[in-house]
């Protein structure tokens, strides 16, 4: 089983080491696609583990700058110690964001399961007051996200909108795929008009077409927002969008926790398994 997962993971994960991610980012740049690199890991339990995560991201920023790669970074607050204390997560995140600002780079805070949603938004808004080079992700599957998007954009924050891969209760999340789609479309259209450089993170070609048409009808430049996709998923679509002149950014995960990451993502929802298998030959 591990061997099969390793074969699959090699397409969707850059590798175990930082330089694997840098090489992947540079290869994407060569075909006109940007990157956002994420060191795999979440839910650290000790301050020492969180400190290691911070050090890894600081080294990653140095390597991005030295290589000339066109890549941002993404991270999870539980990788920064949020399960230990919000204060520790804020301190660690600020260390990274400050370094990124010095390098002219950008940090995207990933959105995790719903138990972390409010804390993630609160921490983001707190640091956004000091640092313009920080963004956050929202999940259209959560019913609250339409309101969250308004609050964040009012503060000048950049949002990556995703459908959401976490299994959540019906009391707080849409269960019908059509409702998730409608929520995504509503938030996406609002973001495209905000001039906060949003990221439209989807492989759904229907939503991509809606975004392209809406942007064109409203005079929104193709380069004023990013289409974001996962490494190894719908590669021909990624290249096609880039050729059309859109800004395309690919999520490049790396790290030694690839097995845990793969098992968690596949285990959260059966749709994740089918999504990977459907796109393996693209």
Give catalytic residue positions: 110, 160
Cα distances (angstroms) measured from residue 161 to each of 94, 191, 195, 207, 225: 23, 9, 15, 12, 12
d(C-alpha 268, C-alpha 123), whole Å: 26
The per-residue DSSP string of 55-99 comes to HHHHHHHHHHHHHT--EEEEE-GGGTTTTT-HHHHHHHHHHHHHH
The answer to whether the beta carbons of residues 230 and 250 sit under 8 Å apart is yes
The answer to whether the beta carbons of residues 16 and 260 sit under 8 Å apart is no
């Amino acid at each position: 089983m591990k061997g099969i997962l390793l074969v699959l993971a090699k397409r969707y994960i850059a590798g175990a080491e930082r330089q694997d991610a840098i090489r992947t980012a540079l290869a994407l740049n060569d075909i006109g696609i940007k990157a956002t690199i994420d060191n795999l890991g979440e839910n650290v339990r000790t301050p020492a583990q969180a400190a290691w995560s911070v050090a890894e991201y600081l080294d990653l920023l140095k390597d991005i700058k030295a290589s000339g790669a066109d890549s941002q970074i993404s991270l999870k607050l539980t990788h920064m110690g949020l399960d230990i204390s919000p204060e520790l997560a804020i301190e660690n995140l600020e260390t990274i964001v400050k370094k990124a600002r010095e390098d002219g780079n950008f940090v995207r805070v990933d959105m995790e399961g719903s138990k972390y949603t409010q804390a993630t938004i609160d921490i983001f808004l707190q640091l956004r007051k000091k640092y313009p080079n920080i963004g956050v992700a929202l999940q259209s599957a959560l019913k609250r996200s339409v309101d969250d998007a308004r609050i964040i954009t009012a503060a000048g924050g950049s949002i990556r909108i995703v459908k959401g891969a976490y299994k959540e209760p019906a009391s707080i999340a849409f269960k019908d795929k059509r409702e998730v789609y409608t929520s995504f479309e509503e938030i996406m259209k609002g973001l495209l008009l905000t001039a906060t450089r949003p990221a439209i993170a989807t492989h759904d070609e229907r939503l991509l077409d809606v975004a392209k048409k809406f942007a064109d009808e409203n005079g929104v430049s193709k380069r004023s927002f990013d289409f974001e996709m996962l490494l190894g998923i719908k590669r021909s679509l990624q290249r096609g969008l880039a050729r059309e002149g859109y800004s395309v950014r690919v999520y490049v995960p790396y790290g030694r926790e690839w097995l845990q990451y793969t098992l968690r993502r596949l285990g959260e929802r059966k749709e994740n398994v089918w999504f990977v298998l459907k796109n393996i030959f693209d």
